[in-house]
Structure 1
Amino acid sequence: MQHIDRPPFDPRDVYTTCISNARPSMRARLEAYTDAVANAATVYEGAAKSQALHTLGVLAAQPLARPDRKALEDVYTDRMAKERAPGRRIYEALKGTTDEDGNRRENRCPLCGEGLVTTLDHHLPKTSYPLLSVVPVNLIPACRDCNTGKRTTAPATAGEQTLHPYFDDFSHHPWLRARLRRPRGNEQPSVKFFVSPHSDWDDTLTERLRTHLRVFDLDYRYSLLVSSHIASTNHDLTMMPTNAVAPWLEHKAEGWRYRGNPNTMGYALFKALASDNWYVNGGWRSSSAGTNPD
């Protein structure tokens, strides 16, 4: 989970650019909502800054007419995301997967920190909030797994809000933690990821962090990735004295801080390995252990 800069685009300009090539009758229909889209963007940004996006029920009710709601949803699908659409340049800029010369570059998904960005996720779904269909701060660069896993989830309470990469930044405290699950028999070690909030954080924030892990299924997705990291680490440890293992793992964890953010899968994994006495004192040599603490 990574905080990223808000996009520099004006919502009104983005909307008018996207609808610029519509046929006259459809364009007139969409132009009638220009002020409503701009106003919705202002309301959204204020709520996001206050961590209150769950309070935007009024926006979800607009507009009432189903054909108009569908037309606004299609502004994103047909007039921004589609190849050669008038808003396609903005779409690509929001994804951040190309540089100024149009060359491809890696851009990690800020929602999970692992996948590569391939699409944009509507933080509040366009089917429920059609006025926000092409509002830039509602469009999050995302990997395919995060985008499809979230589906059309929308928060009904403060605690149901997932983290918003443009507005939330909790990188000053390592709240994403992991715990090694010792193997039984011929099993391989596995890892459980969980939330460990700061003592000063309230229950709502803690619930939001847990919601983020649950909605994007990060414990499961991360657990699928750790086996290769553990296998590689076990190989590296074969020539290392026992008293050097924990410091080396701590150093390895620090290498997984991304822009100073400790809430990455790798940081949590290697901190867990470094703090597990069984693993540090030779458990990494064997795929079996006496007792599983879980």
Structure 2
Amino acid sequence: MQHIDPPPFDARDVYTTCIGNARPSSRERLESFTDAVADAASAYEVAAQGQALHTLTGLATAPTAPRDRKALEGVYTHRMVKDRTPGRRIYEALRGTTDEEGRRRDNRCPLCGEGLVTTLDHHLPKNKYPLLSVVPVNLIPACRDCNTGKLVTVPVKAGDQTLHPYFDDFSHHPWLRARLRRPRGNEQPSMKFFVSPHSDWSDTLTERLQTHLKVFDLDYRYSLLVSSHIASTNHDLTMAHTNDIAFWLERKAEGWRYRGNPNTMGYALFKALAADEWYVNGGWRSSSVETNLE
């Protein structure tokens, strides 16, 4: 969950670029939607800035003809994503996985903060909102898990909106939290991830944060990652003095801030371990280091 700068592309320019090599018979029909695409992009940006994308129900009905809707979806699929198409350069710039010289960037998925960006996610799905198929602010760089897991989720009320990396920034408060699940028998310690909002935040915002975790299945996905971190931590703690453990874990948590943002899986994990008296006071020894490291 990381805020990123909106793309510097104009929606009208992107659309006209993408349809630039269309055959004359198709181009005339696609060009007839240019103003509608530009207007839809403007309405989208206003709604996103006001955290009101759920109000764009009118855009979902346009155009009405199935043939036209399919053609607009195809502008993204066939004229932006495919290699050697007019919009491919824009696609790669929006995805942002390499710099201008082709070098790989450290591009973490802004939706989950863990996966690496490999694709673009339509924040409002293109099969529901075909006019937004190639609107830049509707295209979010994402990892494969976030893109496929979200599917065609559409918000119907304010609380249904997932966080929008271009327009939402709640990194000033650590709202992603975790709680240690103490092992039973031969179980390994695990984590439960949840939302802990700021006291001044509205119920709607809290619901949005919860929706984001649910839609992208982050509690489950993060829980699959923590076992190796806990195992490595248990090993490191064999060399730490008992009185220093909580402080060491707090410092470890601070190292997991990403670009100053505390809402990362690692920050929540190590803050939870530092706050758990059972773990700090020897619970980390409950499973053998050898077992944890396998």
| Structure 2 partner of 1:186 | 186
Which amino acid is the alignment partner of residue 163 of structure 2?
A: L
Secondary structure, in 3 states, of the residue corresponding to 2:194? strand
Q: CA deviation at 1:261?
A: 0.4
Deviations 1:137-188 (A, max 9, x none): 0000000000000000010000000000000000000000000000000000
Q: CA deviation at 1:278?
A: 0.3
Does the 8 Å contact 1:125/1:153 carry over to 2? yes
TM-score for both structures, normalised by structure 2: 0.97
Deviations 1:201-225 (A, max 9, x none): 1110000000000000000000000
| Structure 1 partner of 2:238 | 238
Secondary structure, in 3 states, of the residue corresponding to 2:179? strand
| Structure 1 partner of 2:165 | 165
Secondary structure, in 3 states, of the residue corresponding to 1:48? helix
Does the 8 Å contact 1:185/1:287 carry over to 2? no
| Structure 2 partner of 1:261 | 261
Q: Which runs of 4+ in 1 moved over 3 A?
A: none
User: 2:104 and 2:256 mapped to 1: Cα distance?
Assistant: 23
Matched, 1:40 2:40: yes
User: 1:267 and 1:3 mapped to 2: Cα distance?
Assistant: 17
Q: CA deviation at 1:84?
A: 1.0
Q: CA deviation at 1:32?
A: 0.3
| Structure 1 partner of 2:216 | 216
User: 1:106 and 1:267 mapped to 2: Cα distance?
Assistant: 19
Which blocks of at least 5 consecutive residues in structure 2 are unaligned?
A: 289-294
User: 1:103 and 1:180 mapped to 2: Cα distance?
Assistant: 39
Which amino acid is the alignment partner of residue 239 of structure 1?
A: M
Deviations 1:7-31 (A, max 9, x none): 0000000000000000001011000
Q: CA deviation at 1:102?
A: 1.8
User: 2:95 and 2:277 mapped to 1: Cα distance?
Assistant: 42
User: 1:246 and 1:61 mapped to 2: Cα distance?
Assistant: 55
Which blocks of at least 5 consecutive residues in structure 1 are unaligned?
A: 289-294
RMSD: 0.8
User: 1:268 and 1:6 mapped to 2: Cα distance?
Assistant: 27
Using the aligned pairs only, state the percent identity.
83
Q: CA deviation at 1:120?
A: 0.1
Deviations 1:224-276 (A, max 9, x none): 00000000000100011110000000000000001110000000000000000
Deviations 1:59-87 (A, max 9, x none): 00100111000000000000001111110
TM-score for both structures, normalised by structure 1: 0.97
Q: How many residues align?
A: 288
Matched, 1:248 2:220: no
| Structure 2 partner of 1:7 | 7
